[in-house]
Amino acid sequence: MKNPKDKAGGPQKDTNNPDPALRTRPVVGLQLIRDFKPAGPGKWAGGKIYDPGSGKTYGSKLSANANGSLKVEGCIGPICQAQTWTR
């Protein structure tokens, strides 16, 4: 997360969550990645990733890169997009 604070200096909240009861919870500490299963050396599939920026959850797969980064692919139907996550 690039900026864990909101404009007022408090913690970012899950304001885009589709469940109104969850919109006041802090984003820091949320479980964003779940249900992945090993799919080969350095690969995981069958999981979901929650995007607090949109409030949506996407089917995804993960691949570890040699440099320690993580390739994350998310799909909506047949359309997929990839990102590289670094620590």
Q: What is the reported pLDDT for 87?
A: 81
- Boundaries of every domain in the chain: 31-85
Q: What is the Cα Rg of the chain in Å?
A: 14
CATH 2.40.128.520 fits 31-85, yes or no: yes
Q: Indicate if the pLDDT at residue 1 is higher than 70.
A: no
Reference 73, options 38, 37, 48; nearest CA is 48
Hey, is 32 helix, strand or coil?
coil
What are 57's two structure tokens?
């959850």
pLDDT tens-digit series, residues 10-49 = 899 999 999 999 999 999 999 999 999 999 999 999 999 9
